[in-house]
Structure 1
Amino acid sequence: MASFFLQKNLGPLSVLILSIVLSVNAQETCHGKALVHGMAKLQCNYHFPNNTAKKSMSVYWQKKRNPTDKDYLEVVYAIYLGEDKTDTINKKYQERSFLEQNWDLRINNITSGDVGEYTCIVFINNRKVYDSFFKLDVFANYSKPKFDHGLSSVMTVKRGDYVDLNCTSGNGFPKPQDMYWELSNGSQPVRKLASFQIQNSSETYTIFSTLSLKVEYNISIRCILVAHHTVASEFQQVIILEDVPPVSHDYNLYIIISAVMLVLITVLAVILIVWRQNKSETVRRRNPNVEMGRRRNGSSRDNHQDQHETLMTPEQVTANGSS
């Protein structure tokens, strides 16, 4: 026995109460998933006989308003005796629900409130001939967990200090299952549980978690959200101050002074070379006779050498004559 109550006017009847006793093979419940703000397609899986007159067809898509309330149903879409009855559709689905040619239901702009069990009911001449069920799960992916704003990815502390880290992830649906922390110091990561809070804002959830930790060694930390999907934050590096190699300011100063001195020596060498070249040029311009004397002395030495080479002894003259 099936009993359905459809609110509002369906055709000429102000209230249509369908109380039908009919043996119908039970249909398996189909399942589907959809993302918030996305689209969902719910299958009815019924085909009217070819000789069925359109005016004899009635198709209703309904949804349980409360999973525990089997009698109170919301009309998601309705066709009564071949005509669309959009005025009977619940206001939550107005202009969002559409019936496909194969009687499948399409819902646009999915919200978290669309999660639940839907029923497709088919009548021919007001006689129920078929029904099927579709369970729709709705999801919204959570944001990547993040640490407090303004927190650097590297934190330096003193050995034995306590650090407090806050991690947040939001805009997700359904309610998250857990958020835990993962600690690693280069070896196998260690899972650490911490308290967390969940807030329900409009149609989505936000989760917060706080970790208080005493730092005894360099460590990498990240928080991990567990929901319908698992999302991890970036690593937060916590480094003990004593283990950070100190920067030698004296060494840096020595490098700077050496570089400056090298530049100064180079500049002075260039200035000295240019100065000597300019000085030589100035001397030549002021004493042109000195240069001419140098040239004449050089010319006289050459002539004297030539004359010396041309003079011969009497024996050399006799030897040359006899030859």
Structure 2
Amino acid sequence: MKVGMFHLMILFQGISETTTQGTAFVAGMAELRCKVNNTEQLDVDRISYHWQKETSTGPEAMFEKTHNKLVKENVHKKFLNRTMILNTNWDLYLYNITIEDEGKYSCHIILKRQKWDGIHRSTFVLKVIANFSTPEIVMFPKQVNTTDLLKLECSSKHGYPKPGRMDWIVSNSTGKYNIPHIPLIAQDEVSKMYNISSNISLLITENTKVTCELLSENNVISTVTEIGMDDLNPILPMKPSNDLIYISIVPAFLILIVGFIYLKWRMKKPTSVASSQSRMRHSALPAESNDENDYPRSPCTALQHTPLCDLNPQNSSIRGTNEHLRESEEPMVTGNS
């Protein structure tokens, strides 16, 4: 309520007003100037003095001193233990600056005579700055062919306020060239700081020097990146990955196994046919008898000479047996006949 009362009282006639502005860096200190003249004539015991920040939702009390005594009840919590007053000129120091501290502040001094009379009001506009990091240039890919475009990226981080643009400076034997470029800008939702990046593609045919410059509240330029022709190595053939090697080896190995099994089967097939034919021939012959007086019943056991029996070498033993039988059956000739 006091803040509102003070805000109305300063409208009285005779009040002096000033407007100033200044800058402060994030995490640093800001000096909010009140610009009061003839402060030595002011009786601190008769003065009520306070600072407030002007916002869209209303003033936020930062510092208050009445009859030379501090009053903390009305101070907004985000300004507690962050301020210090200078009684010599009624300026206020604000510490641990954040981006949210940017804005408009007002200083009010009210003198008590027969009633509270506003005698001074000052407005101070604070601008907060966060320096961007030194821009860094990265080449993609690191190894290029002289016939390919070289992609370059320049980036800078953690700056405020929003930057304007990022320019490229390219120089070679033909001259120095400034290449403006619209960068990609992103703001962090928590810190409210900005990150910026820019990409260009260049055809490198000779020794070249490249830099990039960030145009912001405080312009920042990168270090010089020198691209020499000796540094441009040809692109090597891409080596096949292990996955491709496995994919090609496994089918070949399977084909080799199947081929080996098939060859083995083909080598065994003639023997099996010969065995089948042998079994068929033996099944056509009569079974052997255990009686020694029985003759074999094969056609070749008869006292006949057939071409089949003569040509088959397996029947040589049978022919011998038949010839022996014929000799035994011939009549024995004696000398008396």
TM-score by length of 1: 0.62
Superposed displacement of residue 45, structure 1: 2.4
Superposed displacement of residue 181, structure 1: 0.9
Partner of 1:52: 43
Is residue 101 of structure 2 the alignment partner of residue 110 of structure 1? no
Two-structure CA RMSD over aligned residues (Å):
2.8
Partner of 2:227: 238
Structure showing greater Rg: 2
Q: Distance in 2 between matches of 1:90 and 1:176?
A: 32
Superposed displacement of residue 157, structure 1: 3.3
Is residue 110 of structure 2 the alignment partner of residue 123 of structure 1? yes
Tell me which amino acid in the other structure corresponds to 1:140.
Answer: A
Partner of 1:97: 83
Q: 1:138 aligns with which of 97, 105, 128?
A: 128
Q: Distance in 2 between matches of 1:119 and 1:106?
A: 13
Preserved CA contact (<8 Å) 1:6 1:73: no
Preserved CA contact (<8 Å) 1:157 1:239: no
CA offsets 1:279-320 (integer angstroms, 9 cap, x no match): xxxxxxxxxxxxxxxxxxxxxxxxxxxxxxxxxxxxxxxxxx
Q: Distance in 1 between matches of 2:223 and 2:5?
A: 58
Preserved CA contact (<8 Å) 1:157 1:241: no
Superposed displacement of residue 27, structure 1: 3.0
Tell me which amino acid in the other structure corresponds to 1:110.
Answer: I
Partner of 1:259: none
Q: 2:181 aligns with which of 180, 194, 197?
A: 194
Q: 2:12 aligns with which of 13, 17, 22?
A: 22
Q: Distance in 1 between matches of 2:99 and 2:218?
A: 16
Superposed displacement of residue 135, structure 1: 1.7
Q: 1:214 aligns with which of 178, 191, 203?
A: 203
Give SS of 1:38's match. coil
Q: Distance in 1 between matches of 2:97 and 2:231?
A: 54
Superposed displacement of residue 58, structure 1: 0.7
Count of residues in Structure 1 that have an aligned counterpart in Structure 2: 225
Superposed displacement of residue 17, structure 1: 6.5
| Change in CA separation of 1:218 and 1:30 when aligned onto 2, cut-off 3 Å | same
CA offsets 1:254-296 (integer angstroms, 9 cap, x no match): xxxxxxxxxxxxxxxxxxxxxxxxxxxxxxxxxxxxxxxxxxx
Preserved CA contact (<8 Å) 1:76 1:93: yes
Give SS of 2:64's match. strand
Tell me which amino acid in the other structure corresponds to 1:42.
Answer: L
Q: 1:31 aligns with which of 1, 21, 25?
A: 21
Identity %: 27
CA offsets 1:230-254 (integer angstroms, 9 cap, x no match): 211122233446999xxxxxxxxxx
Q: Distance in 2 between matches of 1:243 and 1:30?
A: 55
Give SS of 1:203's match. coil
Q: Which runs of 5+ in 2 are unaligned?
A: 234-337
Q: Distance in 1 between matches of 2:25 and 2:6?
A: 35
Q: Distance in 2 between matches of 1:51 and 1:241?
A: 75
Preserved CA contact (<8 Å) 1:111 1:203: no
